[in-house]
Amino acid sequence: MKRICALLLAAALLTGSAAAAGEPEAAQPALDLSAASAVLMEKETGTLLYEKDARQKLEPASVTKVMTLLLIFEALDSGRISKEDVVTVSACAAGMGGSQVYLKEGEQMTVDELVKCITVVSGNDAAVAMAEYLAGSETAFVAQMNQRARELGMEDTTFLNCTGLPASGHVTSAHDIALMSRELVLNHPGVREYTTIWMDSIREGAFGLTNTNRLVRFYPGATGLKTGSTGSALYCMSATAERDGMELIAVVMKAPTSAQRFEDAKALLDYGFAAYALVTVYPESPLAPIPVLLGTQGQVQPQLERECRLLVRKGQEGQITTRLTLAQDLAAPVEQGQRVGEMEVSVDGQVRDTVPILSAQSVERLTAPRIFTRLLERLLMAGPAR
């Protein structure tokens, strides 16, 4: 009997990641993928919806540039740099091989143009130019890349350059690529301005750019993100797409051909959009004001601390229920943001989220003279007894 229990426990621990994230248990679909490793993640919750050898350490090729872009957009969004900044190309950056936009030593381009070159055509020279601009050298920038990877929990990752050009020991995993892709698209939505470009140009139209990510044109809802390929890494990509308010991240590593890479990414995204939905949950009844005793105001309005967005399987939307617990009254003083209750959210009877309910405003306590004045006013308004 003990052995049976142990086997059952082991099976539970090995259940797919969706269950670990609070999702009802479900077997993974039998997707016919050519890639050696793959992951499907929902952006907002970070839930893993599908995994195939997700922690296998492999060469990422130019998908490396997701981290390069993350550091660039963190600098942009923090105000450290601007899109209008002019970058002067070094001899080192101009000498990069592989995919490039043929930058010349001493050539000047704006950050905006260089980011476009990185996202659209995976320019190695543009990536190094930006790395040097941000950190002084590619070596210093790579140290920042690895530090950021550790902060994101990317345990399978070691970066040796900012481009993804072949280097012994430059590895990551589909799982880690999903983590850094999520950080980029979740917290820096401005990247979509670049990753959704299909065709554009630089140098005042003299040099054309066509996106290496075919899904941007041919997959409904595609929003990016980055492709990569080398002779040893084979064909990789991190693909993002959004439908009905839900954005998915599909990571494919070491697919045999470019075409199979895109087919694998489409299969993952198709599965996610067909099987899951992201639902905004509201209280089943309005949040009524709560009386305040001995306060300068007679009541406060409760409000949810945050929006509740729940990832559920298609067909479960009607199984979502909420249960409110609210204070019957409050004694002044009441602080704005004070917790006054909670909303418990369940799917098919299983609690999936608990959202605190807070006071929308503060209420000060009445002073003793004001309490006396109020009582006197009420007595006078009541008039003489008859």
Sequence-distant (≥ 6) Cβ neighbours of residue 91 within 8 angstroms: 105
Proportion of the chain in helix, strand, coil states, percent, rounded to 5: 35, 30, 35
User: Once rounded to an integer, what is the mean pLDDT over residues 195-204?
Assistant: 97
Of these residues, 17, 37, 90, 122, which one is catalytic? 122
Q: Which residues of 183-198 are buried (b: 16+ CB within 10 A; e: fewer)?
A: bbbeebeebbebbbbe
Q: What is the DSSP string of 331-386?
A: ESPB-TT-EEEEEEEEETTEEEEEEEEEESS-BPBPPHHHHHHHHHHHHHHH----
> What is the helix (H) or strand (E) element at residue 179, kind and residue range?
helix 174-187
- The pLDDT tens digits of the residues spanning 229-258 come to 999 999 999 999 999 999 999 999 999 999
Percent of the chain past pLDDT 70, that is, above it, reads 89
* Two structure tokens written together for 108: 């000047």
- With 60 as the cut, is the pLDDT of residue 385 above it? no
Backbone angles phi, psi at 378, to 5 degrees: -65, -35
- 346 catalytic, yes or no? no
> What is the helix (H) or strand (E) element at residue 42, kind and residue range?
strand 37-42
Alpha-carbon distance of 151 to 172, in angstroms, equals 15
- 65 catalytic, yes or no? yes
Of these residues, 65, 116, 254, 266, which one is catalytic? 65
Q: In the 8-state DSSP scheme, what is residue 24?
A: P
User: Once rounded to an integer, what is the mean pLDDT over residues 317-334?
Assistant: 95
First to last CA, the chain: 82
Of these residues, 17, 34, 62, 99, which one is catalytic? 62
Q: So what's the pLDDT on residue 235?
A: 98
Alpha-helical (H) ranges within 188-296 are 192-195, 215-218, 258-275
CB distance 344 to 351 below 8 Å:
yes
- The pLDDT tens digits of the residues spanning 258-294 come to 999 999 999 999 999 999 999 999 998 899 999 999 9
- The pLDDT tens digits of the residues spanning 85-118 come to 999 999 999 999 999 999 999 999 999 999 999 9
CB distance 21 to 44 below 8 Å:
no
Q: So what's the pLDDT on residue 15?
A: 36
Q: So what's the pLDDT on residue 29?
A: 82
The widest CA-to-CA distance across the chain, in whole angstroms, is: 101
Better-scored residue on pLDDT, 325 or 10? 325
Q: So what's the pLDDT on residue 208?
A: 97
- The pLDDT tens digits of the residues spanning 354-374 come to 999 999 999 999 887 766 676
Q: Residue 153 burial (CB < 10 Å; 0-12/13-18/19+)?
A: exposed
Taking the whole predicted model, whether its pTM rises above 0.95 is answered as no
> What is the helix (H) or strand (E) element at residue 85, kind and residue range?
none
- 62 catalytic, yes or no? yes
